[in-house]
Amino acid sequence: MMGRIAIRAAVVQTAGGPFHFETLSMDPPGPDQICVRLHACGICHTDMVMRDGALPTPFPVILGHEGAGVVDAVGSAIDHVTVGDHVLLSFHSCGACRACHDHQPGYCVEFVPRNFMGVTQAGEGGIWRGDQRIGSNIFGQSAFATHALAHRDNVVRIAPDLPLDILAPLGCGIQTGAGTVLETLNVAPGQSIAILGAGAVGLSAVMAAVIAGAGRIVVIDRHASRLNLARTLGATETGDDLASVEGLFDHIVDTTGVPALLGVAVEKLAQRGTLALVGAYPPGGCAIDPSAIMSMGRRIVGVVEGGIDPQRFIPRLIGYYRDGRLPLEKLIQRYAFDELQAAFAASESGDVVKPVVVMDHP
């Protein structure tokens, strides 16, 4: 029987606090777990929401949920990956509820406990500071560390020639934007789309809209540098205010999470158009006129993680990456793992779209 191993992890001690690098000990994988030696992890907006205590995340905690690495050990019931496989990590789901059976694990009935709370199941290993159990298993991974314990459902095998540091963000931010366009909205060739917010999710939606053959692709953001990047990726028009854009849209994707923008978004939908809500919305809301939705056959749909199954969708995205249609390197800036705090600051200031920290292994 394998014993615990020493790992290095970035721990947030209390809500809103900084990252402290610590050496901790990690249990061997339980029967359905997979130990992954991490090579990279993207930083996602949800990490900041969890760090700040706005979700029911346990502290002290190890965040990080866009991990990528190499399988180090597998539990006795794992048969879809083996030691040495290169893998990307995604969000966690129960595998047993109706949504999971329908290949819609983003709507798993256990989404909140398994992702934001890091709840573990009987027989699953954890991470320890002496005899104190540290909050981990966030999104079924907690990947701001040298090693993570992940699961059957959220470990996706990829070819060993692919760059782990560039593809790490596929497992959350990129699949959220691309999945919203390609699967939830199923944008058809020639259709029009407006995308609110040009962060990693919004820019992934732009790349996916180009892949889908959309006609008009309008991107709205306050940062001029991000609008430039959006045009490089295929946006046909950009601006800082949807209200001042001419015409109506078949699809609108809101990635901003700002409720005050949604009233205008509904008015900018064409007949039978759909507004996809992808942002991290605060509680409370905005006034939307029901008659404006009813009379034109408009729809509003909430979207978690793009509405995709990572086991099916990540391989599809990798196909686009290999074809040069998903130029993720334009979004990414690499940081050493030790520079995690600076990487967060660059994301929060808007300077970097998608920071990725890279772990050193001797």
265 binds Zn ion (CB under 5 A): no
- Residues 318, 314: Cα–Cα separation, whole Å: 6
255 binds Zn ion (CB under 5 A): no
Q: Is the dihedral of CA 274, 331, 174, 134 positive or negative?
A: negative
In the complex, least distance from residue 316 CB atom to Zn ion, rounded to whole angstroms? 19
97 binds Zn ion (CB under 5 A): yes
Q: Contact region for Zn ion (CB under 5 A) — 30-38, 44-52, 214-222, 228-236?
A: 44-52
Q: Contact region for Zn ion (CB under 5 A) — 50-58, 105-113, 124-132, 275-283?
A: 105-113
In the complex, least distance from residue 8 CB atom to Zn ion, rounded to whole angstroms? 22
Which residue is associated with the tokens 């009987």? 122
328 binds Zn ion (CB under 5 A): no
Of 5, 49, 55, 94, the residue at the interface with Zn ion (CB under 5 A) is 94
Of 93, 115, 191, 274, the residue at the interface with Zn ion (CB under 5 A) is 93
68 binds Zn ion (CB under 5 A): no
Indicate the residue among 183 and 250 with the shorter CB distance to Zn ion: 183
The H-assigned helical ranges of the chain are 45-51, 98-101, 111, 164-167, 173-179, 200-212, 224-233, 262-267, 290-294, 310-322, 340-348
Q: Contact region for Zn ion (CB under 5 A) — 46-54, 160-168, 195-203, 232-240?
A: 46-54
Which residues 166-225 are close enough to bind Zn ion by CB under 5 A? 172
DSSP strands (E only) in 75-165? 86-89, 127-129, 132-134, 147-151, 155-158
50-66 core/surface letters (b: 16 or more CB in 10 A; e: else): bbeebeebbbbbbbbbb
146 binds Zn ion (CB under 5 A): no
44 binds Zn ion (CB under 5 A): yes
Residue 56's alpha-carbon distances to 48, 60, 92, 128, 252, in angstroms, are: 13, 12, 16, 20, 30
Nearest to 115 by CA among 175, 55, 60, 157: 55
Total chain residues near Zn ion (CB under 5 A): 8
> Where along the sequence are the contacts to Zn ion (CB under 5 A)?
44, 46, 93-94, 97, 100, 108, 172
